[in-house]
């Protein structure tokens, strides 16, 4: 944790006023944005970036005092936002399973049940496979041809 002298912050707010110091905090955030933007364009001034980060850290403490925001309130939001980020990352990195993936991942018992429930049927005088979907507990009918079976295996599992 970076040590911030709360007394200096308090005196600054008393001397300049809440309104002025709130505006200063907005300006300091803008200066940090500008320093980051320069870095993204290939003109990084690491010393300036660190200085602007320090200004914003000081401003955070100032805003906490001005608006009476507690560490616990901020901490609660940090936890919430980081948990949400992890959920988004997990969602973004999860690949969608195909029907073939689901079959590959079945236990022996699940595969035996699935194969037992598969049967050949005819629809409109054409051969079909009736396949029991273990997730939806519904039957799926697939035209019994190499292309249609391959397409089903490569399609997203329900």
Asked which of 28-32, 85-89, 118-122, 129-133 is least confident by mean pLDDT, the reply is 129-133
Residues 38 and 57 in one domain: yes
Residues 26 and 89 in one domain: yes
The per-residue pLDDT for range 140-156, each reduced to its tens digit, is 777 777 788 888 888 88
Domain that holds residue 19: 6-93
The predicted pLDDT at position 133 comes to 65
Which of 75, 93, 111 is where one domain is finished? 93
What span, in angstroms and rounded, lies between the C-alpha atoms of 71 and 29?
A: 20
1, part of any domain: no
More confident residue, 147 or 34: 34
Asked which of 3-7, 46-50, 140-144 is least confident by mean pLDDT, the reply is 140-144
What span, in angstroms and rounded, lies between the C-alpha atoms of 18 and 20?
A: 6
Number of domains the chain contains: 2
The predicted pLDDT at position 136 comes to 66
What is the percentage of the chain residues whose pLDDT exceeds 90? 52
Residues 141 and 89 in one domain: no
Alpha helix positions (H), the chain = 6-16, 18-40, 46-66, 71-93, 99-104, 108-116, 146-154
Residues 85 and 128 in one domain: no
């Amino acid at each position: 944790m970076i040590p911030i002298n709360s007394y200096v912050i308090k005196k600054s707010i008393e001397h300049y006023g809440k309104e002025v110091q709130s505006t200063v905090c907005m300006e300091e955030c803008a200066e940090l944005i500008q320093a980051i933007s320069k870095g993204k364009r290939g003109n990084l001034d690491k010393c300036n970036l660190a200085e602007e980060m320090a200004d914003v850290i000081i401003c955070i403490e100032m805003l906490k005092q001005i608006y009476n925001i507690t560490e616990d309130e901020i901490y609660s939001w940090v936890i919430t936002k980081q948990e949400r980020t992890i959920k988004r990352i997990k969602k973004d990195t999860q690949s969608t399973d195909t029907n073939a993936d689901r079959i590959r991942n079945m236990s022996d018992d699940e595969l035996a049940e699935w194969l037992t429930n598969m049967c050949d049927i005819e629809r409109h005088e054409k051969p079909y496979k009736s396949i029991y979907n273990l997730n939806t507990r519904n039957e799926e009918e697939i035209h019994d041809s190499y292309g249609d079976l391959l397409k089903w295996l490569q399609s997203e599992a329900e």
